[in-house]
């Protein structure tokens, strides 16, 4: 099955899916250092982009959508604003759009 990975980071979640036999056809993160690390370790390169600005029609067809949603709004190391922080809600918007 083909996988699209939002908020891929350095690829921890992706690696698990690859090990289970899935094919990651597209990955994305906004952090350039995470993308550099991802790209050094995976055959399919991650796209460096803000997913809220990325044209969703450019994402290849996929069967499974995964994502390591941004943790800053929920982390004890952050301000713990949760869903009141826009970073804490970005996955709602993008998952719904990507599935249509």
Sorted by where each starts, the structural domains of the chain and their CATH numbers stand as 2-99 (3.40.50.150)
Establish whether 8 is a catalytic residue. no
pTM over 0.95: no
Q: What is the mean pLDDT of each run of 10 residues along the chain (100 residues)?
A: 94 97 96 96 95 87 85 68 67 54
pLDDT of residue 94: 52
Count how many Cα atoms sit within 13 Å of the Cα of residue 45 in the half-sphere of its side chain.
Answer: 7
Q: Which residue out of 40, 56, 64, 71 is catalytically annotated?
A: 71
Q: Are 2 and 23 in contact (CB under 8 A)?
A: yes
């Amino acid at each position: 099955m083909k996988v699209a990975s939002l908020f891929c980071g350095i690829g921890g979640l992706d690696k698990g899916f690859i090990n289970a036999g899935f094919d990651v056809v597209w990955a994305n993160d906004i952090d350039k250092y995470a993308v550099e690390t991802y790209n050094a370790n995976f055959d399919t390169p991650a796209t460096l982009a803000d997913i809220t600005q990325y044209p969703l029609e450019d994402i290849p067809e996929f069967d499974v959508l995964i994502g390591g949603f941004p943790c800053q709004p929920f982390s004890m190391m952050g301000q713990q604003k949760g869903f009141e922080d826009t970073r804490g809600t970005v996955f709602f918007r993008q998952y719904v759009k990507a599935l249509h």
